[in-house]
C-alpha cells in the first residue's frame, strides 16, 4: 500500500512540476499553495504544570489559491484520510499556523542518519501535515535533507556559490553546553540551537557561523579552542570539526564554515592578532579537514563576482570553504576565504530586523566585495537590559521572527538572498525553501 501510493503521488506530483525539486515532490505535494511542519522553539507551560518541549506546528500558505481548504491536520504517516489524523484544526485564513499540543519527542534521525551515513535523498521524521476539504489536497512532512546538493546536482551544479541560497545557523556550535561544569541543553541567552552539528548537516544546513575562543590554561593545544557565545564557553571545537569531517567524507555536499568572531584569546589588548593562536587554529582546521578544503587561492574568482560553481568544487572534490574574519591572517594564508559580509541588524525589534534585511539583501553583494558570499543574520539580538532583566529568551526571540523569515525568503528575498542563518532552524522552513529557490534560479540561467 505504502509503495503504490508513493508511486502514484510521485507521478501526480511530477505533472505539477514548477518550482519544487524532484525529490522534494515525493513528500511535498499540493495543488496550489503549501503546507509544512515546523517545531515550536519556546516551551509551552502546561495547565497542570510541567512544560511541553518541541511542540509541532502546522503551517500553511494558500494566498495564491482561488479557494482555501477548510481544515489542516497532524498525521503520523502519509495523510490519506482525515480519520487517521492525530489532531484537526479549522483553516480560517489564507496564511497561518497552529501550534499543536503534540511534542516531536525524541527526534531520531531517519534512514540510518542517526549514527552515521544513511540513505541518500530526503526522508521524513514522523510528523506529517495534510490540508483539504473532504479530500486531503496538500501534504508535507518534517524532513531531513542530508544530500540535497547531490540530489539536485543536475540542476544546481551550474550555479556559483554566491548564486545559491544556503541555509545556515547562527552561533552554530551553541547547541548544548559541554564544559567541566555544565551539560545544560536549555537556557535563556546563550544557546541558539538545539541540534548537534551532525544533525544540522543531516537536516540540510550547509553554513555554520562559529565563534571561536582560546583558553591557554589547558595543557594540550587542541583542547584550548572552544566554541563560545560571546564570553561564554559552550563546547570544545575539535569534536565538532570531526562531525563535519565525517559528513564530508561520506557525502558529495559542500559545506561553508565561517570563523566569524574571536571573542577571547586571539587578540592582544591593542587589537593586534596573537599570531601563534591564529596559526594553532589554522593547523587544527588543516589537520581535521585538510583533504576537503577548497583553497581560496585555487578557487576564488575576481572581486565582485560570485565565486566558483558547485560543479567545480564537486569535480575537484574540494568541498569545505573556510572563511576567516581577519584579513591580516587571510593575507598570509591564501587558502582562507576573505571576510564574509554579515548583514547584522543588531536590534531586538523584529520590525527593524526585517526593514534592515530587506534593504541590505537588495543591495548585496557590494560590487567591490572580496567575498562571493554574504550572510543575512535572520535573528534579533537581545539588548543588555533584556539580559539583565531576563526579558524574554533566545527561544522566544526566534519564535517572534522565524515564521516571517520563511515567508520573506519565499517572497521579498527570493531574488537576491545568499546565506540565511537563523536560530532554532527547525522553527522555520529555510532548508526546503532554499533548495526550491536554488533550483528555480538554476532553471532561469
Ligand X SMILES: *[C@@H]1O[C@H](CO)[C@@H](O)[C@H](O)[C@H]1NC(C)=O
From 103, 189, 350, 416, residue interacting with ligand X (rule: CB under 6 A): 350
How many chain residues interact with ligand X (CB under 6 A)?
9
Q: Which is nearer to ligand X, 55 or 336 (CB)?
A: 55
Cell of 436: 526550491
The answer to whether 100 contacts ligand X (rule: CB under 6 A) is yes
* Residue 101 binds to ligand X (criterion: CB under 6 A): yes
**Dihedral of the alpha carbons of 99, 100, 101, 104, in degrees to the nearest 10:** -100
CB of 294 to ligand X, least distance (A): 37
User: Binding mask 249-288 vs ligand X (x if CB under 6 A, - otherwise)?
Assistant: ----------------------------------------
Q: Does 85 bind ligand X (CB under 6 A)?
A: no
Query: What is the distance between the alpha carbons of residues 276 and 288, in angstroms, rounded to a whole number?
Result: 18
* Residue placing its CB nearer to ligand X in the complex, 161 or 417: 417
CB of 83 to ligand X, least distance (A): 18
Q: Specify the residue, 110 or 130, whose C-beta has the smaller distance to ligand X.
A: 130
User: Is 156 or 361 the residue whose CB approaches ligand X more closely?
Assistant: 361
404 contributes a contact to ligand X by CB under 6 A: yes
Angle made by CA atoms 108, 166, 305, in degrees to the nearest 5: 160
Q: Which is nearer to ligand X, 288 or 399 (CB)?
A: 399
Q: What would the DSSP string read from start to end of 77-125?
A: SS---GGG-SEEEE--SSEEEEEEEEE--S---TTTTTTS---SS-EEE
Nearest by Cα to 427 from 54, 29, 51, 27: 54
**Distance between CA 169 and CA 272 in Å, rounded?**
29
Residue from the set 262, 354, 356, 374 that interacts with ligand X by CB under 6 A: 354
How are beta strands 419-422 and 166-169 bridged, if at all? parallel
| Three-state DSSP state, 256 | strand
For 21, 158, 160, 242, the CA distances from 441, given in Å and listed in that order, are 12, 10, 11, 33
From the list 351, 385, 388, 445, which residue makes contact with ligand X (rule: CB under 6 A)? Answer: 351
Stretch that binds ligand X, among 93-101, 211-219, 237-245, 256-264 (CB under 6 A): 93-101
90: burial class by Cβ within 10 Å (0-12, 13-18, 19+)? exposed
We find the least distance from the C-beta atom of residue 99 to ligand X, in angstroms, to be: 6
Stretch that binds ligand X, among 94-102, 278-286, 301-309, 426-434 (CB under 6 A): 94-102
| Residue 428 found at the interface with ligand X (CB under 6 A) | no
Q: Considering only residues 41 through 70, tell me which ones interact with ligand X, judged by CB under 6 A.
A: 47
Give the whole-angstrom CA distance, residue 440 versus residue 408: 16
Give CA 82 to chain center in angstroms: 32
Interface contacts to ligand X, rule CB under 6 A: 47, 98-101, 350-351, 354, 404
Amino acid at each position: 500500500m505504502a509503495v503504490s501510493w508513493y508511486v502514484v503521488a510521485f507521478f501526480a506530483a511530477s505533472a505539477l512540476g514548477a518550482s519544487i525539486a524532484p525529490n522534494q515532490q515525493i513528500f511535498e505535494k499540493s495543488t496550489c499553495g503549501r503546507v509544512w511542519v515546523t517545531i515550536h522553539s519556546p516551551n509551552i507551560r502546561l495547565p497542570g504544570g510541567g512544560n511541553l518541549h518541541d511542540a509541532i506546528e502546522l503551517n500553511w500558505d494558500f494566498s495564491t489559491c482561488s479557494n482555501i481548504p477548510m481544515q489542516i491536520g497532524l498525521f503520523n504517516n502519509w495523510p490519506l484520510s482525515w480519520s487517521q489524523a492525530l489532531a484537526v484544526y479549522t483553516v480560517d485564513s489564507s496564511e497561518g499556523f497552529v501550534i499543536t499540543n503534540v511534542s516531536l519527542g525524541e527526534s531520531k534521525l531517519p534512514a540510518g542518519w542517526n549514527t552515521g551515513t544513511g540513505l541518500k535523498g530526503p526522508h521524513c521524521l514522523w510528523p506529517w501535515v495534510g490540508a483539504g476539504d473532504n479530500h486531503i489536497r496538500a501534504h508535507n512532512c518534517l524532513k531531513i535533507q542530508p544530500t540535497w546538493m547531490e540530489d539536485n546536482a543536475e540542476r544546481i551544479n551550474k550555479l556559483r556559490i554566491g548564486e545559491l541560497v544556503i541555509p545556515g545557523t547562527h552561533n552554530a556550535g551553541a547547541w548544548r553546553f559541554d564544559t567541566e561544569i555544565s551539560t545544560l541543553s536549555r537556557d535563556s541567552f546563550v544557546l541558539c540551537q538545539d541540534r548537534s552539528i551532525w544533525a544540522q548537516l543531516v537536516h540540510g544546513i550547509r553554513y555554520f557561523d562559529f565563534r571561536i575562543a582560546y583558553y591557554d590554561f589547558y595543557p594540550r593545544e587542541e583542547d584550548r579552542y572552544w566554541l563560545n557565545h560571546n564570553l561564554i564557553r559552550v563546547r570544545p571545537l575539535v569534536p565538532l570539526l570531526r562531525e563535519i569531517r565525517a559528513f564530508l567524507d561520506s557525502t558529495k555536499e559542500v559545506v561553508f564554515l565561517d570563523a566569524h568572531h574571536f571573542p577571547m584569546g586571539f587578540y592582544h589588548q591593542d587589537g593586534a592578532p596573537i599570531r601563534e593562536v591564529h596559526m594553532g587554529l589554522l593547523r587544527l582546521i588543516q589537520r581535521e579537514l585538510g583533504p576537503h578544503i577548497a583553497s581560496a587561492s585555487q578557487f576564488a574568482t575576481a572581486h565582485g563576482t560570485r565565486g566558483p560553481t558547485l560543479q567545480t568544487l564537486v569535480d575537484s572534490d574540494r568541498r569545505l570553504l573556510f572563511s576567516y574574519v581577519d584579513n591580516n591572517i587571510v593575507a598570509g594564508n591564501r587558502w582562507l576565504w576573505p571576510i564574509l559580509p554579515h548583514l547584522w541588524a543588531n536590534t531586538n525589534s523584529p520590525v527593524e530586523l526585517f526593514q534592515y534585511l530587506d534593504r541590505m539583501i537588495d543591495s548585496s553583494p557590494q560590487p567591490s566585495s572580496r567575498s562571493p558570499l554574504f550572510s543575512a543574520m535572520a535573528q534579533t539580538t537581545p539588548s543588555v537590559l533584556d539580559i539583565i532583566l531576563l526579558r524574554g529568551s533566545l527561544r522566544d526571540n526566534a519564535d517572534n521572527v522565524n515564521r516571517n523569515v520563511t515567508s520573506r525568503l519565499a517572497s521579498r528575498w527570493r531574488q537576491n538572498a545568499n546565506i540565511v542563518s537563523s536560530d532554532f532552524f527547525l522553527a522555520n522552513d529555510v532548508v526546503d525553501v532554499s533548495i526550491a529557490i536554488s533550483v528555480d534560479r538554476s532553471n532561469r540561467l
